[in-house]
Structure 1
Amino acid sequence: MVDSEGVTMGERVDPTAPGPDLVGVNVERPPLMHQQSTVWNRRQQAVSVRHAYKHYGSKKKPNNVLSDLNMTVGKGTIYGLLGASGCGKTTLLSCIVGRRRLNTGEIWVLGGRPGTKGSGVPGKRVGYMPQEIALYGEFTIKETMMYFGWIFGMESREINERLQFLLNFLDLPSQNRMVKNLSGGQQRRVSFAVALMHDPELLILDEPTVGVDPLLRQSIWNHLVQITKDGNKTVIITTHYIEEARQAHTIGLMRSGRLLAEESPQRLLSMYQCTSLEDVFLKLSRKQVQVGSTADQNIANNISLASLNWSKKDAISVTEESGVVGLNFHQSKEVLVTDSNGHIDVSMGKTSATSRGIKEACDDCGNCSDFTTTGKLRALLQKNFLRMWRNVGVMLFIFALPVMQVILFCLAIGGDPKGLKLAIVNHERNFTNLTYQRCEWEPGCKLMDLSCRYIDSINTSTIVKHYYRTPEEAKMAVRTGEAWGALYFTENFTDALVARMALGKDADEETLDQSEVRVWLDMSNQQIGIILQRDLQLAFQNFTKDIFRACEYNEELAEIPISFKKPIYGSNQPSFTDFVAPGVILTIVFFLAVALTSSALIIERMEGLLDRSWVAGVTPGEILFSHVVTQFVVMCGQTTLVLIFMILVFKVECRGDIILVIIITILQGLCGMCFGFVISAICELERNAIQLALGSFYPTLLLSGVIWPIEGMPTILRYISTFLPLTLATTSLRSMMTRGWGLSEPDVYYGFIATIIWIGAFLTISLVVLKAKRG
């Protein structure tokens, strides 16, 4: 009888039956034999996946990617994993190489669990070609091979020899061609070459033949068949070209996170009486849909004979055609030996189990002496510097932007405003020609035209004088924005002022009123308003001193009775630039570092570069350390440029030890870099990283005492400000530059301590997040 799918009813397999390929199975074997057969099978299998579940999202609404998937890949075979896009192939491969972890279930790769110490996976035992290109566009083909070769612990000579073979085999262009200048097909071939570079035991290829010439595609398959002939190499390959998978030893047909079948191509075609693998896949897919509504989900999960009995595979022998090497207790000549510790040993004939066990343990461990951290760090550092050097925009950002910011700051901030218009009404002199702006007065001890004498004392480098007829016109000029202030002198200003000085306490109200200089200012701009107040008061003080000097009085009588001696720190005419400069230096270095690193890991992650490096065995700690070293060099260059322009070119005051100034600046740069790592590790998209970096800029700038003293903030904000990365460091640098303090002062060493603590905290958070995301 034949069912609706064209499958003979006699082929329906009872899960409890041994089936035609099961030879003498002893299901009721002792526990010791069951344990030994399990261990032996794992050793003979390249990959073993059991009851694999993987889902994303919340527990209430999970997105199931893998559902009770079982998979077996024998050593020395080519395993073709076929399925439509989105069925879970890439996720399964990521779990096999240790890039992701299952929610439940277990995976054994080359005798060990991926990601465990000594497994060698991720690491040099696996060659991985991801679905995306995952190559550094700024590298040449040779530099790409050198990078991954060093990561895999290869010597430069060995890499060059392997490179020449791969260039010829894959028909690649000149080794000096940039990857970004290659065509899409050439880039995929370079990606394939990277996976083959170190001649791995397990080769995992995610659609390696997409966009490849048919002749080259056949050449690739011939090479894969060749390297698996001796049984030491295993290949797992996914492809969109289903029919080309006929050359695989075993095929796994995957749909909706489950394996529908796992058999050799010939057996699948024979079992389902089809002429093409596409027809087999179609039948199995329909069968899964039909069975999916029943209670027996195990039958829907795995259709093939071997996979229906996967739980008994530890005790069975399957034909070599199936690609799974099992243990046949009736045919093998194995002897089970238990040592004094209860450990199992296997002797095959007269072969030494001890020597064989040591060799296999070494193979499974993956701890090779030439796979050194030095090689990986060499590759990572070269990668960082090359990518930076060959990106002109990044280089300008690194070195030109900080210099430009310093120049703009010193030119634009802290200087006195120029050309402030002042509307003047002088009724003591009735001008008919308002364009004539000089008010004449006679020098010497002559108390006449004092209004003109005062007006002449006003600082003309800051203030531009304009005359008006009435106070109303002058005030209207202020209201309309034509002037920053209005000045008014009454008709008898000179007489009233002389009477005020002569009468003293006996002066009447009218005399006091007429002797006043009346001023209306536009205080909407506080800085300009304060500067006008300062200049008008200084002008009156100078005007009074000039009269006392001319009349041979002690000019000190014109001073207010408060004597400001030479300041202990700073000068009598403090510069706003000197106050802001320390904070600006640290802000520039800190946030440039944030900008450089906040998107670095995200770009590599989105392009698949980070995953590929992780699969090659690079750890998050090594990645972060390489970036720290790279950025440290950058920080040194940036700090040198910033301080040279700030201190030497623009003469910003620096009284302290320049060595300490350099150290705190570099530390703040490293702190910003580590904060950028946190952003890069947390955010999945580059735009989110940019938003978070920009969102942190203004709160940090406003609350860190850079542009305004934190003593002017409310109490709660002052406490918050203290715990920001820039606050104590700014106080420390300001104390060194303007006060000349050293490390013995708390205000100085608190900044160093706080910065180091922040660096440690940010690095720890980055490592934790990267390790969590890696799994």
Structure 2
Amino acid sequence: MALLEGSTMGERVEPTVPGPDLVGVNVERPPLTHQQSTIWNKRQQAVCVRHAFKHYGSKKKPNHVLSNLNMTVAKGTIYGLLGASGCGKTTLLSCIVGRRRLNTGEIWVLGGKPGTRGSGVPGKRVGYMPQEIALYGEFTIKETMMYFGWIFGMDSKEIYERLQFLLNFLDLPSQNRMVKNLSGGQQRRVSFAVALMHDPELLILDEPTVGVDPLLRQSIWNHLVQITKDGNKTVIITTHYIEEARQAHTIGLMRSGKLLAEESPHVLLSMYGCTSLEEVFLKLSRKQVQVGAAQSDQNISNNISLANLNWAKKDSISVTEESGVVGLNFHQSKEVLVTDSNGHLDMSKPTSSSKRNLQEACDDCGSCSEWTTTGKIKALLQKNFLRMWRNVGVMLFIFALPVMQVILFCLAIGGDPKGLKLAIVNHEKNYTNLTYQECNFEKGCKFGNLSCRYLDTLNTSTIIKQYYPDPDAARLAVRKGEAWGALYFTENYTDALVARMALGKDADEETLEQSEVRVWLDMSNQQIGIILQRDLQLAYQNFTKDILRDCEHNEDLAEIPISFKAPIYGSNQPSFTDFVAPGVILTIVFFLAVALTSSALIIERMEGLLDRSWVAGVTPGEILFSHVVTQFVVMCGQTTLVLIFMILVFQVECRGDIFLVIVITILQGLCGMCFGFVISAICELERNAIQLALGSFYPTLLLSGVIWPIEGMPTVLRYISTFLPLTLATTSLRAMMTRGWSLVEPDVYYGFISTMVWIVLFLTISLIVLKFKRG
């Protein structure tokens, strides 16, 4: 029988379209063109790979994984894909299930191209067992099966019945055992059970028998043979145990990204006169090396495939039970062909079987117009909540950490410093003894030892007074860090101060100089220096008011002639805590969400969990949606705890609508979560995600006006700050809490708009990156 590949494009070749015994209508059909035959033949195979090239890395230095690979897997057969580690088997399987895309070439799976609408691949039509265990360790065996069963669109009763069969067939332990508590062999069996769960049309198994005892290995092979007997199930299996592949109908021997041969086991043994498949593989490998060397000597292009090593490569194959030899046999097909008005095969329309497969694929997902199903969302949400609930450390991190941060912030930030040492030198003529702690003065309208009267008004909770004999010793104490400042009173301080008050504008320079309290401060710590300046000035003002009041004068004469009325917003004694609190609330919620989600996808990706879910038909949008819902619940709990401790327990000022305060806080949490998704989607390793999250923390904190007004920044930084996620939201929350503004004010609604724009932007970037990485 002639091979179809030997025909030229446009030439009509045999065989003709099946006649009345196949179609049921006794009508003579014209023969097909080569192109029509090729497309039709590809639709008849379970898997058809043609001229597949896949490489990684840059164009200048590509790492070729697949090189002009051709592969044909007939329906209803077991196809053993054999080859050493690193030859490209796993990459080829990933392309078949739609997890990765070829650089060039094409793949047909179950009559359609993977990833196209209605193909069912990825999806329910394929069962996939990767090399990794790819299971959720926090799940029990039953919960694992329920998770994947719901994703595949099975109802709970059907899942339970299938679970009982698989438990018995694979000799699994109790269904209530945690996956992480199983042995390595038991975990692989559970992984195999997941692939069998929904009874798929195409079963792809990557090293399923590694770590499995010989008896169970034989039982698995017997099951694979049994399910393929009726021709409705197809199995592709890779294995390191080459000899066990004798039970496969067809074997593909793979090396360096190419198939060396594709034949039934006994044909290969007969053709090469070998007693084992390992000998066959060694002979073919040596032949490939020899051919490659010969081609290099003759300067033949490296892209020429080893077609001479691919025996009987055909577009249409079937495997007979008698021989297992790959050959052409159109009359075994049950497909009903669709023709156009001229009687030619219409390749734009699927055959009846293809229509049925497409319809089943649509039925599997509920409706082709729906973007998801309740089963998938139910499974994903349960997975997120279960993993969170069963990880005690994560639960403490989620709910205890924000409370601890609020408590520490309110206790540590905003309070006046205590116990600041002040070096005091008092040389008044009536106070020359060395007993510095004794500083007596008469109360009332008396003008004696006024330096002692002033020192008595100092805030003792803030200042600790330490006396020194001379100004040099006091300044030396400040230089050594033993005191934060030094005060010096001259010998005739009281007399000079009285003369200054009596003479007024007629006071001479010496009188003015002697009546001063000389202060040297350590301003290396600006906050402490400013507080000491404030307390010394307030003490002097109170000291003056006390004398005026005792002498029956108007004490308001001591006030600075600037009248500060009741402030429009805030109080006359503003608290730094009230200023920082809004930004701290949003920062805590935002970066906790970043921490929770920045590694979520990376962990699942590294363990193979993400790939397995994608092959099962879960889309990046569904994964993100499930995390958004989960995180929203978490955000509500975190926001409640943070606001309760901040506003009710520590009495942080909140004059605005508490509902709007809650909404902006939750939105910021969602924004942080979406930013975490971006990090998780971009980074391949968890440590890179942690570095990126930490690297974004400090610039955002410093530039968002959380701890310092953005009005104090240079112009360029102010523009940069405006476009950060936290800046306008912090301004909005601060306006609501300290000013009591409503949503009609621009400063308030700009924060809401900015946050929602960032959420949409981060989600869009995450989806684009995830979809890009799927290729």
Task: Determine if the TM-score, normalized by the shorter chain, exceeds 0.5.
Answer: yes
Alpha-carbon offset, residue 35 of structure 1: 3.6
In the TM superposition, residue 44 of structure 1 has moved relative to its aligned partner by 2.0
Q: Which residue identity is paired with 1:543? A: F
Corresponding position of 1:389: 389
Contact 2:205 2:238 in 1 (8 A): yes
Q: Deviations over 1:660-705 (max 9, x none)?
A: 0000000000000000000000000000000000000000000000
> Which stretch of the first structure deviates more once superposed, 31-40 or 396-405?
31-40
Whether 1:427 aligns to 2:430 is no
The answer for the alignment partner of 1:300 in structure 2 is: 306
3-state DSSP of counterpart to 1:122: coil
TM superposition shift of 1:34: 2.4
Contact 2:336 2:351 in 1 (8 A): no
Shift of 1:342: 7.4
- Answer yes or no: is the 8 Å Cα contact 2:78–2:236 preserved in 1: yes
Match of 1:745 in 2: 745
Question: Per-residue displacement from partner, 1:50-90 (whole Å, max 9, x unpaired)?
Answer: 00000000111000000000000000000000000000000
CA contact (8 A) 2:97 2:114 kept: yes
SS in 2 for 1:84: coil
CA distance in 1, matches of 2:221, 2:200: 17
The 5 A counterparts of 1:310-389 are 310=314, 313=315, 321-322=323-324, 324=326, 326-328=328-330, 338-340=339-341, 344=345, 358-363=355-360, 367-369=364-366, 373-389=373-389
Cα-to-partner distance string for 1:359-412 (whole Å, 9 max, x where unaligned): 354356675538961100000000000000000110000000000000000000
**CA deviation profile, 1:582-638 (whole Å, cap 9, x unmatched):** 000000000000000000000000000000000000000000000000000000000
CA distance in structure 2 between the partners assigned to 1:524 and 1:399 by the alignment: 38
Superposition map of 1:438-457 within 5 A: 438-457=438-457
Structure 2 Cα separation of the partners of residues 642 and 421 of structure 1: 36
Q: CA separation of 1:424/1:382 partners in 2, compared to 1, >3 Å: closer, same or farther? A: same
| Residue pairs, 1:579-658, within 5 angstroms | 579-658=579-658
The separation in 1 between residues aligned to 2:77 and 2:163, in whole angstroms, is 25
> Compared with structure 1, are the counterparts of its residues 157 and 343 closer, same or farther at alpha carbon in structure 2 (3 Å cutoff)?
farther
Letter in 2 for 1:340: S
Per-residue deviation, 1:322: 5.0
SS in 1 for 2:381: helix
CA deviation map 1:248-290 (0-9, x unaligned): 0000000000000000000000001000000000000000000
Cα deviation, residue 338, structure 1: 3.2
Is the contact between residue 657 and residue 740 of structure 2 (CA under 8 Å) also seen in structure 1? yes
Q: Deviations over 1:550-600 (max 9, x none)?
A: 111100000000011111100000000000000000000000000000000
- In the aligned structure 2, how far is the partner of 1:40 from the partner of 1:324? 18
Q: Deviation of residue 506 (structure 1)?
A: 1.1
- Residues in 1 aligned to 2:135 and 2:73: alpha-carbon distance in whole angstroms: 28
CA distance in 2, matches of 1:288, 1:48: 23
2:126 alignment partner in structure 1: 126
Q: 1:88 to 1:242 in 2, by over 3 A?
A: same
In structure 1, how many angstroms separate the alpha carbons of the residues matched to 2:472 and 2:212? 85
1:128-153: CA deviation from partner (whole Å, max 9, x where unpaired): 00000000000000000000000000
Whichever residue aligns with residue 686 of structure 1, its letter is E
Q: Does 2:251 correspond to 1:254?
A: no
- In structure 2, relative to structure 1, the CA distance for the partners of 1:511 and 1:608 (3 Å cut) is same
Superposed CA offset, 1:24-64 (max 9, x none): 9679x998332442233223210000000000001110000
Q: Please, which runs of 5 or more residues in structure 1 have no aligned partner?
A: 1-12, 19-23, 347-352
Residue 155 of structure 1 is matched in structure 2 by 155
Matches within 5 A, 1:160-309: 160-293=160-293, 294=295, 295=300, 300-301=306-307, 303-307=309-313
Shift of 1:433: 4.5
Q: CA deviation at 1:300?
A: 2.6
Q: Distance in 1 between matches of 2:103 and 2:363?
A: 25
The 3 A distance-change label for structure 1 pair 560 and 361 is: closer
Distance in 2 (alpha carbons) for counterparts of 1:365 and 1:590: 40
* Superposition pairs of residues 695-774 of structure 1, within 5 angstroms: 695-774=695-774
Change (3 A) 1:657 1:333: closer
Alignment of 1:460 with 2:460, yes or no, is: yes
The code of the aligned residue for 1:362 comes to: Q
The Cα RMSD (Å) is: 2.4
Q: Residue 305 of structure 1: SS of its match in structure 2? A: coil
Structure 1 CA distance, aligned partners of 2:596 and 2:338? 60
> 2 CA distance for matches of 1:698 and 1:360?
54
Quote the Cα distance in structure 1 between the aligned partners of 2:412 and 2:353: 77
1:343 Cα offset (Å): 6.3
The equivalent of 2:146 in structure 1 is: 146
1:328-362 Cα deviation digits (max 9, x unpaired): 58x9999977323876269xxxxxx9865643543
Q: Is the 8 A contact 2:337 2:352 kept in 1?
A: no
1:3 alignment partner in structure 2: none
Aligned partner letter, 2:591: F
Offset, 1:447: 1.0
Q: Residue in 1 aligned with 2:102?
A: 102
Q: Does the residue aligned with 2:112 lie in a helix, a strand or coil?
A: coil
Contact 1:135 1:179 in 2 (8 A): yes
Q: Which residue of 1 aligns with 2:23?
A: none
Instruction: Tell me if structure 1 keeps the 8 A contact 2:263–2:325.
Output: yes
- For residues 266 and 210 of structure 1, the distance between their equivalents in structure 2, rounded to whole angstroms, comes to 24
CA distance in 1, matches of 2:304, 2:563: 95
2: CA distance, partners of 1:17 / 1:673: 57
Please state how far the C-alpha of 1:539 moved relative to its aligned partner: 0.1
Paired residues of 2:260 and 2:306 also in contact (CA < 8 A) = yes
Q: 1:499 corresponds to which residue?
A: 499
Structure 1's 458 and 17: CA in aligned 2 closer, same or farther, altered over 3 A? Answer: closer
Q: Give the SS at the match of 1:510.
A: helix
For the residues of structure 2 that align with 1:515 and 1:659, how far apart are their CA atoms?
57
Residue by residue over 1:648-669, the C-alpha shift from the partner in whole angstroms, topping out at 9 and shown as x without a partner, is 0000000000000000000000
Q: Distance in 2 between matches of 1:756 and 1:332?
A: 56
Instruction: Tell me if the contact between 2:249 and 2:319 (Cα under 8 Å) persists in the aligned partners.
Output: no
TM-score after normalising by structure 2:
0.92
Partner Cα separation in structure 1 for residue 379 and residue 761 of structure 2: 27
* Cα distance in structure 1, aligned partners of 2:605 and 2:737: 42
CA deviation digits over 1:515-571, x for unaligned, max 9? Answer: 000000000000000000000000000000000001111000000000111111000
- Answer whether contact 1:130 1:206 (CA < 8 A) is retained: yes
SS in 1 for 2:306: helix
**In the TM superposition, what is the alpha-carbon distance from 1:466 to its structure 2 partner?**
0.4
Match status 1:49 vs 2:55: no
Q: Distance in 2 between matches of 1:739 and 1:750?
A: 16
| TM-score relative to the length of structure 1 | 0.92
C-alpha change, 1:440 and 1:354, in structure 2 (3 Å) is closer
Cα distance, 1:16–1:702 mapped onto 2, change above 3 Å: closer
Identity of aligned residues (%): 84
In structure 2, what is the Cα distance between the partners aligned to 1:143 and 1:332?
Answer: 40
1:408 and 2:408 matched: yes
AA aligned to 2:97 is V
- Aligned with 2:625: secondary structure? helix
Deviation at 1:325, TM superposition (A): 6.2
Distance 1:638 1:325, change over 3 A: farther
Cα pair 1:381 1:626 within 8 Å, conserved: yes
Asked if structure 1 preserves the Cα contact closer than 8 Å seen for 2:421 and 2:466, the reply is yes
Rounded Cα–Cα distance in structure 2 between residues aligned with 1:90 and 1:384: 28
Deviation per residue, 1:687-726 (Å, 9 max, x gap): 0000000000000000000000000000000000000000
Q: What residue in structure 2 maps to residue 81 of structure 1?
A: 81
Whole-angstrom distance in 2 between the partners of 1:544 and 1:760: 61
Query: Is this contact kept in 2: 1:54–1:102, CA < 8 A?
Result: yes
Question: Which amino acid is 2:117 matched to?
Answer: K
Deviation at 1:299, TM superposition (A): 6.1
